[in-house]
């Protein structure tokens, strides 16, 4: 025990030294960063930059920074570096704050905030565009091996309610580091741009970056307020319908096949919906699947129209829009009876029903006997004579039998005259 005591003292001393080196002193004073600036580096994109406070006490600790976005949408995050890139809309202005923090498992030390702000761009209220919507679509590019698929962009908007009649709008988009101005516009009756079309863009259909779109304008009578908006590609990408849809019937078996849409996504990245419509009874069947084949049992006496649509599966990106339905494929036989034949069938059935009702009424109310009473049969004299003769002959035979019986039995009393 005497030998162990110095060893324990040494270990305790080392532990205190380590804690002094690696654990933050709760009495340390943290100072806010300096030279905090916000710089616009692209459409709907800013760079936040600051420097450590030169008067900050240096310790063997790792200082971090907490960034808080105040407007247009609140957000906060932490970083170890002294700059941060932020993608956000700017037509409402932008403001942010940053502070120095020091944290461990038990506490958080923080300095005061340093703040900066970008004011909203100038412009008269009600002059900016409204209802800005955009969609993308993928087409095959047979002339480029580096980029076999091209993405087009189509955007539409409405003119601001207070925009002068001579207002002219211009549209720009940014994807990643690429920025382009629209060259193909559609106009309203006053010649103002209300839609834009990019047949080819630098957008990657499988990318995950935000698409930033800015529409600004000019007028001789008023300052036009700009408007920008962010779009997630999965939410605006219009998938093409499946290709080469075929359907055939063998007995009561309907087999449907198709190919994946024109898209940069591989074949396993698609969900499908099959729509089967029975033209005879109007029954509609919709089935969802992940393969490009479907088999169903049907009524072989009906005619069907078949359509298929597609969407990118959530396995490959966030769920998005369904494609349009493919062109209908018609299969089966439409064995409708001619109108004249149906009319005769309905007429005969109606007549039979009416007759059946009348017969039931007559039976219940005894109308048949009242309407058609039975006719009595006429009397026949010859028949009456024949019946009388037979009766007399039968009577004579009985008398004769009785007389003979009397003669053979003399002990029997004489019969009354009434017997004869």
Query: Boundaries of CATH 2.60.40.10 in the chain?
Result: 34-118, 130-235, 243-331
HSE-up (13 A, CA, CB side) for residue 110: 12
What's residue 392's pLDDT?
A: 47
| CATH fit for domain 130-235, picks 2.60.40.10, 3.40.50.150, 3.30.70.360, 3.30.750.24 | 2.60.40.10
What's residue 358's pLDDT?
A: 77
CATH superfamily of 243-331: Immunoglobulins (2.60.40.10)
What's residue 357's pLDDT?
A: 84
The tens place of each residue's pLDDT in the chain, 420 residues long, gives 444 444 444 544 444 444 444 444 456 788 999 999 999 999 999 999 999 999 887 777 788 999 999 999 999 999 999 999 999 999 999 999 999 998 877 788 899 999 999 999 999 999 999 999 999 999 988 766 677 899 999 999 999 999 999 999 999 999 999 999 999 999 999 999 999 999 999 999 898 899 999 999 999 999 999 999 999 999 999 999 999 999 999 988 999 999 999 999 999 999 999 999 998 888 999 999 999 999 999 887 889 999 999 999 999 999 899 999 999 999 987 655 556 666 778 888 888 888 888 777 776 766 656 666 666 655 555 445 444 444 444 444 444 434 334 434 444 443 344 333
**What six digits make up the tokens of 46?**
């800013």
- Report the alpha-carbon distance of residue 82 to residue 131 in Å, rounded: 37
* Third-level CATH fold of 34-118: Immunoglobulin-like (2.60.40)
Number of neighbouring beta carbons within 10 Å of residue 181: 11
Q: Report the run of H or E that residue 5 belongs to, with start and end.
A: helix 4-22
Strand residue runs (E) in 122-184: 130-140, 149-158, 168-175, 178-181
**For residues 9 and 16, is the Cβ–Cβ distance under 8 A?**
no
What's residue 367's pLDDT?
A: 60
pTM exceeding 0.85 = no
**For residues 128 and 229, is the Cβ–Cβ distance under 8 A?**
no
* Cα-based torsion angle of the residue sequence 359, 365, 371, 372 in order, rounded to the nearest 10 degrees: 70
């Amino acid at each position: 025990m005497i030998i162990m005591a110095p060893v324990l003292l040494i270990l305790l001393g080392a532990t205190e030294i380590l804690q002094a080196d690696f654990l933050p002193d709760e009495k340390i004073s943290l100072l806010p960063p300096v030279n905090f600036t916000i710089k616009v580096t692209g459409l709907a994109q800013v760079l936040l930059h600051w420097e450590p406070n030169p008067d900050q006490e240096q310790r063997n600790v790792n200082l971090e920074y907490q960034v808080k976005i105040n407007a247009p949408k609140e957000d906060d995050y932490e970083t170890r570096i002294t700059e941060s890139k932020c993608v956000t809309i700017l037509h409402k202005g932008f403001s942010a704050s940053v502070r120095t923090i020091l944290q461990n498992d038990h506490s958080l030390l923080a300095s005061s905030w340093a703040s900066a702000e970008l004011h909203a761009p100038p412009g008269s209220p009600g002059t900016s565009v409204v209802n800005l919507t955009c969609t993308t679509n993928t087409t095959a590019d047979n002339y480029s091996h580096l980029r076999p698929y091209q993405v087009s962009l189509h955007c539409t908007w409405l003119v601001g309610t207070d925009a002068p009649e001579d207002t002219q709008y211009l549209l720009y988009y940014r994807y990643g580091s690429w920025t382009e101005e629209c060259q193909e516009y559609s106009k309203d009756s006053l010649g103002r741009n209300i839609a834009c079309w990019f047949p080819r863009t630098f957008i990657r259909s499988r990318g995950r970056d935000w698409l930033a779109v800015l529409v600004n304008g000019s007028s001789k009578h008023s300052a036009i307020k700009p408007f920008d908006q962010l779009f997630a590609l999965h939410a605006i990408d219009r998938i093409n319908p499946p290709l080469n849809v075929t359907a055939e019937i063998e007995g009561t078996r309907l087999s449907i096949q198709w190919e994946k849409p024109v898209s940069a996504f591989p074949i396993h990245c698609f969900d499908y919906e099959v729509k089967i419509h029975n033209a005879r009874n109007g029954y509609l069947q919709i089935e969802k699947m992940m393969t490009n084949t479907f088999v169903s049992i049907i009524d072989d006496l009906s005619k069907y129209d078949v359509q298929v649509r597609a969407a990118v599966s959530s396995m490959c990106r966030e769920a998005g829009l369904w494609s349009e339905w493919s062109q209908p494929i018609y299969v089966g036989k439409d064995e409708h009876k001619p109108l004249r034949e149906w009319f005769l069938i309905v007429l005969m059935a109606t007549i039979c029903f009416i007759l059946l009702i009348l017969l039931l009424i007559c039976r219940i109310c005894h109308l048949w006997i009242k309407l058609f009473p039975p006719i009595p049969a006429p009397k026949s004299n010859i028949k009456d004579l024949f019946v009388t003769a037979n009766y007399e002959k039968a009577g004579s035979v009985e008398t004769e039998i009785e007389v003979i019986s009397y003669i053979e039995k003399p002990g029997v009393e004489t019969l009354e005259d009434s017997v004869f």
